[in-house]
Homo-oligomer: A and B are copies of this chain.
Amino acid sequence: MNIQDPAQPIFRALADPTRRAILAMLASGDRPIGDIAAKFDMTRPAVAKHLAILKEGDLISVEAIGRERINKLNPAALKTAQDWLNHFDHFWDDRLSKLKQAVEEKK
């Protein structure tokens, strides 16, 4: 099927619970890495790796201000994941209509 899948770095980034928690945290405000790392039970370098993976998927962007690097959520990339999932809605509708049809025929 799709060898080169543009959604791959996004779904890869979303696969880890820490990274999803970071995204949720950034939804309530831009934050530097130190702030983020303080909320988790792991070292800062570990959080830095997670941020790097989120950045690879373009789920966040980073802006350097002085010696701080502010991490910001980029909702556009999340939309790519939503779009992929939305394709299954047609399937969902089909199932429902087939079920309805089956019920009709039983009557």
Contact = CB atoms under 8 A, between A and B. Distances in A.
Interface stretch (A5-13, A44-52, A62-70, A99-107): A5-13
Counting chain A residues whose Cβ lies within 8 A of the other chain, the interface size class is 20 to 34
A1 B85 contact: no
Contacts of A91: 27, 73, 75
Interface string A78-97: 10011011111011100100
A81 B11 CA distance: 11
Given A1-B25, A1-B39, A11-B15, 13 more contacts: A1-B24, A2-B17, A3-B17, A11-B11, A11-B14, A11-B20, A12-B15, A24-B87, A27-B91, A78-B85, A81-B81, A81-B85, A82-B86
